[in-house]
Structure 1
Amino acid sequence: MINDEILKNIERVHFIGIGGSGMYPIVQIFHSKGYKITGSDNNETETLDAVRKMGIQVFMGQRAENIGDAQLIIYTAAIMADNPELISAKQAEKEGRAYVCERADILGLITGWYEDAVCVCGTHGKTTTSSMLTQIFLDEGVDLSCVIGGKLPSINGSGRSGSSSIMVCESCEYQDHFLKFHPDVAVILNVDADHLEYFKNIENIIKSFNVFAQKTTKCIIFNGDDENSHKAVDGVDKEKITFGFDKSNDYSAVILNKKGLKTEFEVYCKQDMQPRKMAIHVPGDHNVLNALAAIAAARYEGVSWEGIRKGLDSFFGAVRRFQKIDEVKGVTIVDDYAHHPKEIECTLKAAKGLDFNRVWAVFQPFTYSRTKILMDDFVSALEIADTAVITDIMGSREKNTDGIYAEMLGERIKDSVYFLTDHELVDKQTAQQKEYNFMQCVDYIAQNAQQGDLVITLGCGDVYKLAKMLAQKLKQM
């Protein structure tokens, strides 16, 4: 296992999948420490452009020879076992020429480098809350480091390397990755059923969050309105701060006004109970809760109330979090990362509360196991929309061993649209098949969406491409 002592004797580091949003902040931090870095990826992205501007060599396509004489090879969880670079890296490790680590192991090590690592976890809202908190620190003038699961426009990326003792780190529970981290302050947003192919049940998820809470060295900030979050911190002997809508929480909120994407609310802190007016520019009551979590963490770290107000007021969302893509011929197109039924439910309820004629939900299911296990919940969440359009499932790290296909979801949703495709082609997950399926959806929506409608693409895969394809299609009509 890699540790700080080993890192002292390493000069050359190679990243497999260097263009990923989760890799980029680690690359920045390692680059700031003076390591010689190379990397590889399969698709050109804006992130790769940013990596190249740092003077880092990037190989397109993944081949065994790309790892060169790297002494440390870092890969993401999405890299399959048969990846040629990973195979070569494992062989180099076996021969004692290199160390091989998954991204979560390295990120866990990095969190130990900071005296104030604020680790934001929870089933939903991690990226938005981490982004809000980062924006607050920046507007307060704190030169922090951060690792966020999405792109924050103000830093033009998913992370940064700063000089202060503070780090904001999005901490995901997937396969217990967050248990490798070293939180000084743990922010627990909520605890819900997800990644059940690994955890099996909600009880095991709560246990993992409890272990994470126990690892915290200073303070636990958690959702006082969420029963599972209470269970997750039960028996943990650390300072605890609660947030939520209920006035019994240490930080609570009363919503004053909603207009468009802007929500105004008052914050009450038990320490003085003086109401303070705040505003956020991302819709939905769930985002007020996210803001409360960020406020509580910022106050714990000494940020002024004025700095918090300024930070929230200058935050207009992270990329792929209710992000407006375009408005063409009166049709508004928005993209959102929501991929769990609860997230979809919150996002669609927020969308339905806005001033649109109809709401179209264009959903790309992510992984076969999640689609199978949470099928009933997906049906309930997607029926909130006026029309649901279901794309083919993005398998990502999984093989379709159970024969799960998009039509199994679509046929259960009232007023849904889906397209029957060749299952063999779908299982191969080829770029050509995906583009064809996306275009089928785009053509249907373009022919049927009307002025005043909202079309929102949903999913943690690459469904955002469909949003851009739709905007282009409408412009050509």
Structure 2
Amino acid sequence: MFSHIQKIHFVGIGGIGMSGIAEVLLTLGYKVSGSDAQKTTITRRLRRRGAKVYYGHQRENLKNPHVVVYSSAIAPSNPEIVEARRLDIPLVARAEMLAELMRLKYGIAIAGTHGKTTVTSLIANILTQGGLDPTFVVGGKVKSLRTNARLGKGDFLVAEADESDRSFMHLSPTIAVVTNIDPEHMEHYRDYDELKNIFKEFCLKIPFYGVAVLCVDHPAVAAIAASFPKRFLTYGIHTKADFMAHKIKLYPFKSSFELKINGKSAGQWRINLMGSHHIQNALAAIAVGNELGIPLSSIKKGLSQFKGIGRRLEPLYKNEHQKIYVIDDYGHHPVEIRETLNAIRQTWPQARLIVIFQPHRYTRTKALFSDFTKIFDGTNELFITQIYAAGEPPIHGVSAKKLADNIHSNSFNVHYRENLNDVVHDVRGLVKKNTIVVTFGAGDVNKVGKQLSKMMKEMPLQ
């Protein structure tokens, strides 16, 4: 960026994506300020790194910055956005700022409705293990790297490409990964065909020396591969691909498989992630690492050292003797939830399964209402709690209570609870030996898992 751009203000600096960019800019020597609704571990970390963080959004927070960065979660009526416009301070979308950082490196951008954070984290881990010292910006804390963002000295920047508001079209990656394409964020798209087309346009942004890495298990991604005019690699577990997994075995919080590259066996592999969907994610990361010339031994070590990401099938409580587990998952789309429940059921087929689901956003609940009513088969007890609005206004006729009322099952019980504390109390009374409790949602439903885990540790079953 031009040398006169030195002071950068982030509206919503505590967001996981915003904070990562802010941290990289701090490391580059920029003066970073920002605001957020409340104190969090993220805002405290940024303050320790030198950022000036304000709590609450007000126009006085703008201390003559040269540019103001905002995310799609920030409303145009936000007082800091309004003040920036009044003062003619340039307003830059988060993805546009990420694109500026990517111009300084060879970009590796991971797109898809699901799996972006996991694949981005796996690639960052593999490149780090391979000695490439990447810069990365991840939408979750990578436990093995102990952060969600870092400025590396190497030539590569690894980041998620967010399709939710088309902002990933700001990016011009050298390597573009597409994990899957499902109907989501449809308020920004005319129809599903337009969504699929925008993903293809994103892939076409790679240069002549770049490559697209495509999961052909997903029909919409396979359709891109079928007519893609530039170089591409494929991966999958169900469909013939360049990188494939065979002989899959699932264990508690682990999976193993035989890797085949172009039809030839590359030996047995193990990852500290559970489920076939995570094996697909690992294949994407393996393909990228192999493309960059990292030895398979280093790729394998990078995968084995990966310890997962916060809120992605994250174990909060384990009692191996009594076979009681409390798990938290960020899944908030029907496809994500179904995949995770399948992995849990395959791993613990005899366990009693208690699910707590917090719908995320009124728009998503309305658009996918019918799908949400059909994904919880195999559950023993299902708790639905209030919709986490994420700043959205309510939509008439859309509620978590209505969703709970429309889930009809003869094989499991459905409960609606407005208060998360009530959920904790009720679920604690249902836990016995051989029980899996899993919380789903992108809001604050993880509080249930944390409180329940604390109770289980303080007063374990006898």
Provide, for residues 187-243 of structure 1, a one-character-per-residue CA deviation record: whole Å limited to 9, x for no partner.
111111111222242211111101101111211110122221022345432111111
Q: Show the counterpart of 2:224.
A: 232
Kept in 1: contact 2:383–2:423 (CA 8 A): yes
Which amino acid in structure 2 is aligned with residue 281 of structure 1?
N
Kept in 1: contact 2:386–2:417 (CA 8 A): no
The counterpart of 2:167, out of the listed 172, 177, 195, is 177
Q: Show the counterpart of 1:432.
A: none
1:309 positional shift: 0.6
Give the distance between the partners of 1:386 and 1:417, measured in 2 at CA.
9
Q: Show the counterpart of 1:327.
A: 318
The counterpart of 1:410, out of the listed 386, 404, 421, is 404
Which amino acid in structure 1 is aligned with residue 7 of structure 2?
R
Give the distance between the partners of 1:401 and 1:248, measured in 2 at CA.
44
Q: Is 1:279 aligned to residue 276 of structure 2?
A: no
Kept in 1: contact 2:117–2:138 (CA 8 A): yes
Q: Show the counterpart of 2:7.
A: 12
Q: Show the counterpart of 1:387.
A: 381
The counterpart of 2:96, out of the listed 79, 101, 105, is 105
Distance 1:246 1:455, change over 3 A: closer
SS at match of 1:403: coil
Kept in 1: contact 2:216–2:239 (CA 8 A): no
- After TM superposition, the score normalised by the length of structure 1 is 0.90
The counterpart of 2:111, out of the listed 121, 135, 138, is 121
Provide, for residues 334-393 of structure 1, a one-character-per-residue CA deviation record: whole Å limited to 9, x for no partner.
111111100000000111122362111111111111111111211111233222111100
Gaps of 5+ in 2: none
Kept in 2: contact 1:191–1:206 (CA 8 A): yes
Kept in 2: contact 1:40–1:58 (CA 8 A): yes
Provide, for residues 398-455 of structure 1, a one-character-per-residue CA deviation record: whole Å limited to 9, x for no partner.
211333110111112233444365xxxxxxxxxxxxxxx1111111111122222111
Give the distance between the partners of 2:428 and 2:190, measured in 1 at CA.
40
Alignment of 1:78-477 (within 5 A): 78-93=73-88, 98-114=89-105, 116-217=106-207, 218-246=210-238, 248-270=240-262, 273-327=264-318, 331-355=324-348, 357-413=351-407, 414=409, 415-419=412-416, 437-475=419-457
| Higher helix fraction (1 or 2) | 1
Which amino acid in structure 1 is aligned with residue 450 of structure 2?
K
Distance 1:191 1:67, change over 3 A: same
SS at match of 2:310: coil
Distance 1:247 1:390, change over 3 A: closer
- After TM superposition, the score normalised by the length of structure 2 is 0.93
Which amino acid in structure 1 is aligned with residue 367 of structure 2?
I
Which amino acid in structure 1 is aligned with residue 229 of structure 2?
D
RMSD of Structure 2 on Structure 1 (CA): 1.8
Which amino acid in structure 1 is aligned with residue 156 of structure 2?
I
Give the distance between the partners of 2:264 and 2:318, measured in 1 at CA.
42
Kept in 1: contact 2:385–2:417 (CA 8 A): no
Paired residues in the alignment total: 451
Give the distance between the partners of 1:191 and 1:37, measured in 2 at CA.
35
Provide, for residues 299-329 of structure 1, a one-character-per-residue CA deviation record: whole Å limited to 9, x for no partner.
1111110011101111121111100112378
Give the distance between the partners of 1:259 and 1:323, measured in 2 at CA.
14
SS at match of 1:77: coil
